Every structure is written in structure tokens, then in C-alpha cells.
Chains A and B, each alone.
Chain A
Amino acid sequence: DVVLTQTPSTLSATIGQSVSISCRSSQSLLDSAGNTYLYWYLQRPGQSPQLLIYLVSNLGSGVPNRFSGSGSGTDFTLKISGVEAEDLGVYYCMQATHAPFTFGSGTKLEIK
């Protein structure tokens, strides 16, 4: 199974600060058709996960453009350009290129 390693496990940021989360895969997430099925989710306390980014860099519906995704192959990054209070929660990457699908262990974003 594909292992996704997320770093850091905890992130503390002030309002307005820009932060990045890394997601590294144990094998390439590029499929034979040229697609890379790497997703990012935010789970706020007590809520279901919410899709932020799909296919590495595409913004989910209604997601603010301060969120952006980048990367290729085995290395991926989620960036928040100007953290807001509502961004607190746990961020997960997920790969859907290789079955069984797998999640990263999560990054908890705290607001200072």
C-alpha cells in the first residue's frame, strides 16, 4: 500500500501568516494516463472533512483562493497564503491513484 508522510504534524500560526504542509508518497502518484490523484482535506473540530484541493492543484468548489496545492510524482505541498481564524483544524492529504487509497497522518493547524 502507498504510504503518505505528512509534515509537520502540528503547525502554529498567527493570523495573516503563510504556512505550508508537505505530503510525501512512498511511490509516484502519476498514473498511466498522466493523472495524479492527490487530494487535500480540512477537518474542522467536530465536522466532516471538507475537500480543499483535488488533482494536486485544483481548488474545490467554494474554497478560498488563499489555499493552493502544488507538486508532482511523490512530493506535494499545500500552502495557505494568509491564515485566517477559520482555517484551524486538521489537514489531510489523500492519494487515489493506487488502490487501496490512503491518507496521510494529518497536520493540526493551531492559531496563536
Chain B
Amino acid sequence: QVQLKESGPGLVQPSQTLSLTCTVSGFSLTSNSVHWVRQPPGKGLEWVGAIWSGGSTDYNSALKSRLSISRDTSKSQVFLKMNSLQTEDTAIYFCTRSGLRWGQGVMVTVSS
């Protein structure tokens, strides 16, 4: 059964770095891509970035300079790191397997 679960701190201070983990089961990271999507409160979906089955990455143009996505295939985990956080980065962060199956999301609030 395909499952994805996001984890990370619920609160991050402005200018700090956000670190999120997506732990997957039921599929291999070397055969599937994993994407990150975020949703600010009351707003629409924004594609953040992806790591492909071969390990290459693509990022949202507006976030590219602050963003890094990586993985540990032995642990079936994908990582998102975003630095210089601002209040506008407050959102629910989802990970998804190729857009087909989604995790429940993790709420991240950027506030002092």
C-alpha cells in the first residue's frame, strides 16, 4: 500500500531554515518521483519542487535560490530544506508520489 507521511517542526522563526521529511512506503524512490507542494492558509496549491527517480531535481523558479530537495533511498525518505524563511512561507506542505498519491501534509508556521 502506497503511503507518504510528512514530518517536521510546526513553528519556524523568520530567517531560519525549514527542514521537512517525507517518509514513504509501498514504492521505491529509485522508480518514482516525489514532489513537494505547499498551500498557504486559505489559498491555492503551489508546486515547490521534485526529486526524480534518478536523483535529479527541479525547483519552483521563485524558490530555487532558497530550496534544496534530497533523499535517502535506504530509509525511503525525501528531504526538503528551505532557508531564509519568511512569513509568506507559512503553509501546509504536502509530499506526493508523482502527483498520484499524497500525504496528509504538515502545517508550518513562520513566526517569531
Q: Which of A60, A101, A106 contacts B47 (CB 8 A)?
A: A101
Closest approach, in angstroms, between the C-beta of A57 and any C-beta of chain B?
A: 16
B59 within 8 A of A: yes
Q: With A48-B105, A101-B47 as known contacts, state yes or no: A1 contacts B100, CB within 8 Å.
A: no
Contact (Cβ within 8 A) A101 B35? yes
Q: With A1-B61, A99-B58, A100-B59 as known contacts, state yes or no: A105 contacts B44, CB within 8 Å.
A: yes
Complex Cα distance, B99 from A92, in Å, reads 12
Contact (Cβ within 8 A) A94 B47? yes
Contact (Cβ within 8 A) A94 B99? yes
- Which chain A residue lies CB-closest to B98? A96
Q: Say what secondary structure dominates the interface of chain B.
A: strand
For the A-B complex, the count of residue pairs with Cβ-Cβ distances under 8 Å equals: 49
Q: Which of A60, A96, A99, A103 contacts B45 (CB 8 A)?
A: A103
Contact (Cβ within 8 A) B60 A100? yes
- Which chain A residue lies CB-closest to B45? A103
Contact (Cβ within 8 A) B44 A103? yes
A49 within 8 A of B: yes
Contact (Cβ within 8 A) B60 A51? no
Interface 0/1 of A58-90, CB less than 8 Å to B: 001000000000000000000000000000001
Q: With A100-B59, A100-B60, A101-B35 as known contacts, state yes or no: A51 contacts B100, CB within 8 Å.
A: yes
Closest approach, in angstroms, between the C-beta of A93 and any C-beta of chain B?
A: 10
Q: Which residues on B are within 8 Å of A, measured CB to CB?
A: 35, 37, 44-47, 49-50, 58-61, 94, 96, 99-105
Which 6 pairs, one residue from A and one from B, show the smallest C-beta to C-beta distance? A48-B102, A99-B58, A101-B47, A103-B45, A106-B44, A100-B60
